[in-house]
Amino acid sequence: MSVSVLSVIRPLGGVPGILQVASVLGLVLLLLKTAQLYLHRQWLLRAVQEFPSPPSHWLFGHRHELQKEEQLKLLLKWVEKFPCACPRWLWGTEMEVVIYDPDYMKLILTRSDPKSDGSYRFLAPWLGYGLLLLNGQTWFQHRRMLTPAFHYDILKPYVGLMADSVQVMLNKWEELLSQNSSLEIFGHISLMTLDTLMKCAFSDQANHQTERNSQSYLQAVWDLNNLVFSRMMNVFYWKDIIYRLTPEGRWNHQACQLAHQHTDRMIKLRKAQLQEEGNLEKVRSKRHLDFLDILLFAQVSNRSSLSDKDLRAEVDTFMFEGHDTTASSISWILYALATHPEHQQKCREEIQNLLRGGVFITWDHLDQMPYTTMCIKEALRLYPPVPSVGRELSKPITFPDGRSLPKGFLVMLSFYALHHNPKVWPNPEVFDPSRFAPGSSRHSHAFLPFSGGSRNCIGKQFAMNEMKVAVALTLLRFELAPDPFRVPVPTPRIVLMSKNGIHLHLKKLL
Ligand code: HEM
């Protein structure tokens, strides 16, 4: 071997021998890598030959199309053209199959495929391995441990806390009102949902809607939403070692630090409070345990092996999932009602009758607002706050139409595309709350704002309550109208955002 290598490199003359060997080795490695990528691409192409897709570049995949047009608009064009599912190439050797058919969704969500490492791992530096990112047995143990935090005995008193936070936001809106200019609501609603979450899940009673710490946390979350999504879409940023050296990578690191400061401060405060209150058992007998209590109790009990790192990951996960998703949903619901004044008025009348002219809302009212609930669901259909989730197939799958995908494939379950699929929802772009009228029927997996199966949203009931309280109290105080000059542009991030904010005109009701 050494003889043949030397004979090949001898003509390079003056270059030191070690460099020559390194160049030849480098060349061999490059050839091997190219061959490996080529074979991987061939495998992908063979696996999706039954799934037609729009033409893509052999190296850049669908990047050009994805950059040229609004992503969600492009996706809806694909939905019209390619039934059930369609491959999306991010790069010549990186692709995922986008799914938007209810039967396909059902099949995948009833299996136990793990979250796809490709995209979720980019959330890990920020959220850590909490409930959202965990898989397998550890996920199961954490889910079982945290489920009691969402029992309805715990959720009941939260309604009053939610109403208080909403009123603080509405008072602020009243002060900001001016005749002509519209108000960007997403930022205000994020502060309100963060405030609510801090009060409910973390028993922190400070007013977070005016605090500077909360605002810098929200700025970090906003940045991370954009940064993580941009990383998912750009294969050059996938390798940690390279990403860390880029300006975006450094920004991501700083934003994570800011977000962690917020959660660390809160954990420290609560640990100190618990020490003051004395024995943890005494605390347990005094009040219902909130989300953070459950974690702290689990840490001290002998039965659990919850480390400080695990605890922080759960707090980071819930802090984010518990406020950003509801901020997105409430903002889009108010926008949908603003653009449909007839439905807005019907909801308002329902709530006025229910609360008998007052504004005091309780747990018992929440299941007595059927029309408002129908409008909320219809807005969740049109604007699903979590536009998609990902899975990596742990075994081969065959769909009901006979097409199949092999083990190891990445699938993206696009709730946005499912909810806008004309084969599932006739006239999908029309806001029609009667789709959710009592007695109306639909496929069990046609409407999935909270996903489905065992990995559905643990905070679903909390979120529904918060949406009802926020919508009811806002409609009692204001008449909402859209700003025709600033029509929001839905944009997929980790949650559904608007590229240019959500601007509404508000008119105070007497
Ligand atoms: C309108 C509001 C909300 C929507 C639309 C929503 C939607 C979702 C969806 C689609 C998933 C599945 C994610 C995946 O498979 O990767 C999920 C999971 C999750 N959600 Fe929500 N969510 C909302 C509110 C909340 C709230 C208020 C909390 C907490 C207080 C929460 C906590 C979580 C957690 C921890 C998970 C991971 C669950 C697991 O994998 O076991 N969510 N949510």
Residue 285, pLDDT score: 67
Residue 25 covered by a domain? no
Alpha carbons 330 and 339: distance in angstroms, whole number:
14
Closest C-alpha among 311, 313, 326 to residue 200 = 326
> Does position 2 have pLDDT exceeding 50, yes or no?
no
> Does position 150 have pLDDT exceeding 70, yes or no?
yes
Token pair belonging to 23? 């160049």
Residue 286, pLDDT score: 62
DSSP state string for 222-252: HHHHHHHHHHHH-GGG-SHHHHTTSHHHHHH
Establish whether residue 383 lines the binding site of ligand 1, counting it when its CB lies within 6 angstroms of any ligand atom.
Answer: no
| pLDDT tens by residue, 256-296 | 999 999 999 999 988 888 777 766 666 666 667 788 888 88
Residue 503 covered by a domain? yes
Residue 296, pLDDT score: 86
| pLDDT tens by residue, 423-468 | 999 999 999 999 999 999 999 999 999 999 999 999 999 999 999 9
Residue 280, pLDDT score: 65
Range from 3-17, 24-38, 135-149 carrying the lowest mean pLDDT: 3-17
Establish whether residue 449 lines the binding site of ligand 1, counting it when its CB lies within 6 angstroms of any ligand atom.
Answer: yes
Establish whether residue 131 lines the binding site of ligand 1, counting it when its CB lies within 6 angstroms of any ligand atom.
Answer: yes
The mean pLDDT of the chain is: 92
Q: pLDDT band at 10, cuts 50/70/90?
A: low
* Index of the ligand 1 atom closest to the CA of residue 464: 1
Cα(508) to centroid(ligand 1), Å:
33
> Does position 160 have pLDDT exceeding 80, yes or no?
yes
Residue 171 covered by a domain? yes
Residue 126 covered by a domain? yes
Which among 120, 316, 329, 386 is the best mutation to test ligand 1's pocket, defined by most ligand atoms within 8 Å of the CB?
386
Q: Measure CA of the first residue to CA of the last residue in the chain; give whole Å.
A: 91
Cα(29) to centroid(ligand 1), Å:
43
Alpha helices in 355-459 (DSSP H): 370-382, 415-419
Establish whether residue 200 lines the binding site of ligand 1, counting it when its CB lies within 6 angstroms of any ligand atom.
Answer: no
| pLDDT tens by residue, 371-407 | 999 999 999 999 999 999 999 999 999 999 999 999 9
Residue 27 covered by a domain? no
Cα(22) to centroid(ligand 1), Å:
50
> Does position 480 have pLDDT exceeding 80, yes or no?
yes
Range from 9-18, 102-111, 245-254, 324-333 carrying the lowest mean pLDDT: 9-18
Task: Judge contact between 386 and 132, C-beta under 8 A.
Answer: no
Residue 223, pLDDT score: 96
- Atom 15 of ligand 1: nearest residue by CA position: 389
Region 25-51: what's the mean pLDDT? 95
CATH code: domain of residue 207: 1.10.630.10
Residue 41 covered by a domain? no
> Does position 136 have pLDDT exceeding 70, yes or no?
yes
pTM over cut 0.85: yes
CA distances from 149 to 46, 202, 287, 288, 459 (A): 46, 11, 13, 9, 9
The share of the chain scoring above pLDDT 90, in percent, equals 79
- What dihedral do alpha carbons 177, 179, 184, 185 form, nearest 10°? 50
Neighbour count for residue 372 (Cβ, 10 Å): 25
Q: Domain residues for 360?
A: 48-508
Residue 225 covered by a domain? yes
Token pair belonging to 282? 């005494």
Cα(381) to centroid(ligand 1), Å:
16
The number of folded domains in the chain is 1
Q: Is 457 annotated as a binding residue?
A: yes
Cα(451) to centroid(ligand 1), Å:
8
Residue 20 covered by a domain? no
Establish whether residue 249 lines the binding site of ligand 1, counting it when its CB lies within 6 angstroms of any ligand atom.
Answer: no
